[in-house]
Structure 1
Amino acid sequence: MGVLTDYFRAADDRAVLAALDDAEGGPLVGGARAAFDGVETKGVDPVVVLGQLIAVARRVEWGVGLVGETPVWPTTPPPGREGPADEDDPWATGPWVMRLDRPARDTLADLPAEEVPDVSARWAAAAEELPDADGDDLRPLIEQLSGLARRAREAGEDLYCWTCL
């Protein structure tokens, strides 16, 4: 079983929390009736894998803090404790929702279509977490993420990542 990561756009954290209260299975469940406009991915976490895409697009070296993220759900940090987490602890079991920083959104939104093939090839080479992917495989995902980011920016919205094990 892999890690599911859905990227979506929303007006604010309150809208995300309200919609997640009403939807089991994530923000994109329901097809045409999904709570949000988004892109389904598998294994494209915001810090490392998406961060590597952002680094390639910006032509900078990747680092852990390249994509800023703010926790939206769970809403409170886990209490200090020793030993394993309680099986009902959402910090241990998920799902988790993070709001991505606007520079990451804008990097994706500003990616010119003519640069996507080059960015795709360089991302495939950089992302060890996507060992079976090549540039051609990743091109549609980059186009989808870039389009989502453009729509988010045009609407004055943020990008979010919902992650589930």
Structure 2
Amino acid sequence: MTTVRLDALDRKIIAELQINSRLTIQELASKIGLSASPCARRVRILEETGVIKGYAAIIDQTKVGLPISVFASVKLERQREEELDRFAQAVARWPEVVDCYLMTGQRDYLMRIVVQDLEAYERFLKEKLTRLDGVASIESSFALGQVKRSSALPIGAALSAEPTGRST
């Protein structure tokens, strides 16, 4: 995977869009100190290079009737490529799974599953997860509360100020 070099203006654009992706180009340009045309060009390049993958609304899961977050650790019987691919393809079809990571350590996958109640999680387990061939074990942990949730990446802290070679 190629890392895209971001300069200070790119990072400012990303930081502002992570706060409010509904900003107009004019509003964004004003916040970062550019005129609209170069700002729009930079946003387009960030989109085309895949740095900006898309735009989405952040929904309060409790207010839409999905208050339960379950973290499930899954161990497969074998960790061969075919089994890993089969598991990933199945998980991609399940809307209840909002996050899924291939892990190192004792377990192969860590998933966050969002459901309306305990009965819905039980149905998910019985009708989907436990029916998947190759699953050796599942450990479920229920979130009691959410201390922090963010979709914003720490762009300023993580990336160096290397120039992109673009003119503004």
TM-score (normalizing by structure 2): 0.27
More helix by share: 1
- Larger CA Rg, structure 1 vs 2: 2
TM-score (normalizing by structure 1): 0.27
